[in-house]
């Protein structure tokens, strides 16, 4: 797979996930919680630095759960996963750099735009992480609450239609894992 193709996929996936997040009440609620979380982590140190750690931790967790879901599906995607993680780090760092520059132009001491951008990126990763968790362990009760939001995310990760996801989850919940 060419690097340009991977970069395009990561950017398209990130933009799609952000648009889906901001189009639902759950997405706005999650963004609000993550935004509030940026205030909490800022007590630990410099706000921008702590927000970067938060986004970085979300990316690493997504990689770990992505590897786990690949193992569950019996496919090898380790090299692609690391490549996408590297590209995702570059894309997210670029987005956060633009937010920091825009913020510096407006006022140096706000950190509001940077926090909001960090919150949206963290929630985008959280959606991806939850999708991986449902692939690995479909009967996770808390994440099942977000089922409507996560169906398209799981379908995208597995390369199947959204309509087929319900069947996959039910098969794996019952332990009947014939074709996956």
Residue 95 forms part of a structural domain:
yes
**Cβ(80)–Cβ(143) below 8 Å:** no
Cα separation, 20 vs 124, in Å, equals: 9
Q: How many domains does the chain have?
A: 1
Residue 49 domain boundaries: 3-173
Residue 179 domain-assigned (yes or no): no
pLDDT tens, residue by residue, 143-159 = 767 776 677 778 877 77
What pLDDT, in 10s, does the model give residues 101-126? 998 888 767 788 888 999 999 999 99
Q: Residue 80's closest CA among 179, 155, 14, 7?
A: 7
| Residue 180 is assigned to a structural domain of this protein | no
Whether residue 130 lies inside any domain: the answer is yes
CA dist., res. 134 & res. 86, Å (int): 24
d(CA 65, CA 86): 16
Q: Are 85 and 63 in contact (CB under 8 A)?
A: yes
Q: pLDDT tens digits for 55-105?
A: 999 999 999 998 888 888 888 777 778 888 899 999 999 999 999 899 888
Q: Does 110 map to a domain?
A: yes
What are the helix (H) ranges across the chain? Answer: 3-21, 25-41, 47-72, 78-106, 112-136, 141-144, 147-158, 162-173
**Is position 178 within any domain?**
no
The reported pTM is: 0.78
């Amino acid at each position: 797979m060419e690097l340009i193709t991977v970069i395009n996929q990561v950017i398209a996936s990130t933009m799609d996930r952000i648009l889906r997040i901001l189009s639902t009440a759950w997405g706005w609620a999650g963004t609000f919680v993550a935004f509030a979380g940026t205030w909490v982590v800022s007590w630990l140190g410099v706000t921008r630095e702590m927000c970067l750690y938060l986004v970085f931790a979300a990316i690493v967790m997504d990689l770990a759960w992505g590897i786990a879901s690949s193992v569950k599906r019996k496919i090898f995607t380790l090299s692609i996963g690391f490549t996408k993680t590297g590209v995702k780090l570059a894309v997210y760092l670029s987005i956060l750099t633009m937010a920091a520059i825009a913020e510096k132009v407006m006022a140096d001491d706000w950190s509001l735009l940077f926090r909001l951008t960090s919150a949206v990126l963290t929630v985008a990763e959280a959606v991806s992480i939850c999708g991986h968790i449902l692939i690995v362990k479909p009967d996770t009760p808390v994440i099942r609450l977000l089922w409507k939001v996560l169906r398209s995310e799981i379908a995208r990760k597995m390369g199947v239609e959204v309509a087929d996801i319900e069947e996959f989850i039910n098969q794996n919940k019952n332990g009947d894992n014939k074709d996956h």
